[in-house]
Structure 1
């Protein structure tokens, strides 16, 4: 069975390689990639990377670069528009003539651009390193994706003072999440939780003012890892992959659970294995369960539960944590302390630890005018906490935390914990690979669409309605004023009745149109048939008559031509000048090229300009 699986994976790899082998490596000026064409994809010459539109939700796409050899959904390493997906219809990436690379949503709305201008030759190319670049024929790089990372670093791609990694929101939501890996103003690399309600730096340990082996006195702020798996930083932070050496394809990713991990690709299986990670205990990451909650370590997973007296805020997203069941807007005169063994709350300390007894610590906390929310008592000292954030429970934690709550507001801790834990989703083990992670589920927030496009659509609809109304009024006015009707043959207009052009009987029309055998269109005026007269095309005949008359300087010839075209039953009391205008308008409307025919509003304008009322 295992051999069959390996054979299948090998066949899939060969198929993918052959598919990508036919894809172009670059995009020239004036060319585009369309979201509606699956083959509109750039590939690196080594076949490892591809760039194009990648689905990130229901009818939502991002322009991205991804690994082609990873199993399941191709692993994305860069995105242009992670926080503003575009529509699955009509969206394109275009390299304009001025050298600017533009991502356009449906409706010609630019959602992202490279902000480059280069009038001479330039092309968009995907390099073997996974770097998407705009470059000249001399290989001068005008723009590169390596300078604008999203959540992933590739070998030799740098973190700098201007470039940082920002996690996705969840496994299926690629938009910007709560965690970032960056150089702070102290010239040290940091991991920061910047959640919906609070922020907290959690690496290096905030309680350690001088991180071991780290060097603050530098101003270069550069960090990267090489093809062997060695990470180096200007602040002297270093680490190495467990499978150190040239060979595996690697990526360093700021994962959505707040852990920074180095992955190595197992090409036969197409799976990523963790070869280094910042935290072996996932609960050490701040904000993983949100405020007013407890993160609990398990054998392979972690779980989130609300603190006693609190309830989960959004069951689908534990980033928002829990909210109190009690109301603090009333004057609370009596407080109780609920004991939480083996629980510690990291950060948000009120002052330095105090060498007090438990009773003295609780008394000081009550007297803080609600500034103190809890007291952690460890090894004979107590620490006041201003926020119930980053609470962790583990059998290995010594000491006890006392949670301060209004009296008569507390249900049984066991009941509260059991209810919350059942509602809490599981978080990943730090040792699992990205493809196997089952983390806190967070609903993908689809792009709400371009509001400008919506307003524009409504505007165009209203204007179109007004124009249609005006055209109808214009036709009604002409109809009432002259009592003529309009017929259409082979896409051209003939004014009849009061206008004075020749009328045809039913039998004449039937003969002229081959018994109505060739229908060429349908419209508001009925069916349109292709037709000719026995002595040639009607339009050709009328146009030739008009040309011959116009070339003559004799007014009698012009009048004679118009009389020949007019129905003989028309009363002779008509304006010759107005008939000339009607004839000119009719001949414009029967131009062979539709772009040369006037619009109906233009027809009305020409008639009213000559006082045809």
Structure 2
């Protein structure tokens, strides 16, 4: 136990020696922040840790600024924590104030304060620690609030993710709002699991896991200063090495991130060379596996190892610049009917794809031909999923689709296409009635007959109704009047 303690102590000393040797010129170092201190995007925009390795303050996002913790002095923006991440960017005239009440507030308009950090007790100072943790202290230097307790998408060395806290990916590399993927440790189970944000905590929505189910409660995810990512149980016992660690420590810093594409990655920054971040480990090699990467009615295909979203046959992208927006039908069945009053349809196959099974009817021990026919004959069926003799009839939308070339089940999606040709189409009218020409002509004639100059030639109301129904025609006198 003493040996382990000394090893951990040596690693911590090396980390802090590294931090103390790292210097930046962007801001004056300030490890102790007193009430009354403030920041602005265009002035003193951040507070630095003692070594200058981390900064807390404003950074550019979208058409404005966000507030968070970022690695300072590296060539690319590396944000590791964002405050109020789903709030819109703030303007350049905003002000971040550590007020005399001990709260950190963001002032965007006069009289309107947004809490960034607020402790339950009395706060006397704030600090940006060399670990990347932004903290609020009381007069005894006890931590009353810390950013490490509220991870967004990143874990830093010495930080831990307990089972009662989840992590969510960001929207993109530059937009740190809440994205569509999440990472959590299952309560009282010990399994570290990746889910789509909109999926339930169920096995069918689990697209990656640590394989530590059943190891007990109070499990936490931890990252060491040498890049060692691991799980500890409630007794402090290491139940899983996710990465082995042991990477170079001098001049390096490591961090783990749940990236916007749904994959966990361990990164390194070489601080001495001030290089871009490098990937040391990732949870998945197949970038199409994260469920929800492509939106409704679209499926993910790898193109030179890069994920590409494709629409189902007969569908087009809702927003070509946003793959998570999904696809919609290029032809709406209610917009055109053929002259017989029905919509013609055909079936197209999409092979080797897997989808969420949300069927309303299932057929077992059937053939793919029978599955195709079952969907074609069922007015409610939009897509039928066939696999290993099982046929699932589905309504739209479909989600969580991806190409699966490694499956032995020969999955097939039978997609119903509405194919009424335009020549046969009748368009309906309006840290919705079709007006017939003969009926229109009859109504005009009756109207004219009813306003004849000679009252004796005008029809009775009974005859008007019969004529509108087409039961009787016009009288000879009225016809001769019209001709004259």
Is the structural similarity TM-score above 0.5? yes
* 1:162-561 pair list within 5 angstroms: 162-184=164-186, 187=189, 188-194=191-197, 199-200=198-199, 206=205, 213-216=211-214, 218-228=216-226, 229-232=228-231, 234=233, 236=239, 238-240=241-243, 244=247, 246-247=249-250, 248-267=252-271, 268-329=273-334, 335-348=345-358, 354-366=364-376, 370=380, 373-378=383-388, 380-385=389-394, 387-393=397-403, 395-398=405-408, 399-408=410-419
Structure 2 CA distance, aligned partners of 1:249 and 1:320? 36
Q: CA deviation at 1:91?
A: 1.8
SS in 2 for 1:249: strand
Q: Distance in 2 between matches of 1:261 and 1:402?
A: 33
Quick check: 1:145 aligned with 2:151? Answer: no
Query: When you count helix as a share of all residues, which structure comes out higher?
Result: 1
Secondary structure at the aligned position of 1:360 is classed as helix
Decide which of 16, 25, 28 is 1:22's aligned counterpart.
28
Q: How does 1:11-90 map to 2 (within 5 A)?
A: 17-19=23-25, 22-37=28-43, 39-58=44-63, 60-73=64-77, 75-85=78-88, 87-90=90-93
Structure 2: gaps of 5 or more residues: 1-20, 423-484
Q: Are residues 108 and 215 of structure 1, via their aligned partners in 2, closer, same or farther at CA, if it must alter by over 3 Å?
A: same
The structure with more strand, counted as a fraction of residues: 2
The equivalent residue for 1:105 is: 108
| 2: CA distance, partners of 1:252 / 1:302 | 22
Alignment partners' CA distance in 2, 1:300 and 1:212: 24
Which residue of structure 1 lines up, in the alignment, with residue 446 of structure 2?
Answer: none
Cα deviation, residue 250, structure 1: 1.2
Structure-2 change in CA distance of 1:385 and 1:146 (3 Å) = same
1:222-243 per-position Cα deviation (integer Å, ceiling 9, x unaligned): 2222223232154955410576
Matching of residue 129 in structure 1 with residue 131 in structure 2: yes
Query: Take 2:194 and 2:420, find their aligned partners in 1: how far apart are those partners?
Result: 37
TM-score if structure 1 supplies the norm length?
0.57
TM-fit CA distance, 1:127 = 0.8
Q: Distance in 1 between matches of 2:104 and 2:392?
A: 55
The answer (yes or no) to whether the contact 1:190–1:204 under 8 Å persists in 2 is: no
Q: Distance in 2 between matches of 1:347 and 1:272?
A: 39
8 Å CA contact 1:80, 1:112 repeated in 2:
no
Deviation at 1:147, TM superposition (A): 0.8
Asked if structure 2 preserves the Cα contact closer than 8 Å seen for 1:365 and 1:384, the reply is: yes
Q: Residue 265 of structure 1 contacts residue 273 of structure 1 at CA under 8 Å; is this kept in 2?
A: yes
Please give the alpha-carbon distance, in whole angstroms, between the structure 1 residues aligned to 2:295 and 2:256: 25
Counterpart of 1:154 in structure 2 is: 156
> Residues 308 and 410 of structure 1 are in contact (CA less than 8 Å); yes or no, is this contact kept in structure 2?
no
- CA 1:317–1:128: 2 relative to 1, 3 Å: same
Is the CA contact (8 Å cut-off) linking 2:300 and 2:402 kept in structure 1? yes
Superimposed CA distance per residue, residues 558-581 of structure 1 (whole angstroms, 9 cap, x where no aligned partner): xxxxxxxxxxxxxxxxxxxxxxxx
Contact 1:241 1:262 in 2 (8 A): no
Cα deviation for residue 283 of structure 1 reads 0.7
Q: Does the CA contact (< 8 Å) of 1:227 and 1:245 recur in 2?
A: no
C-alpha deviation, 1:364, in angstroms:
4.2
Number of aligned residue pairs = 389
In structure 1, runs of 5+ residues without a counterpart are: 1-14, 412-613
Larger radius of gyration: 1
3-state DSSP of counterpart to 1:128: coil
| Kept after mapping to 2: 8 A contact 1:190/1:201 | no
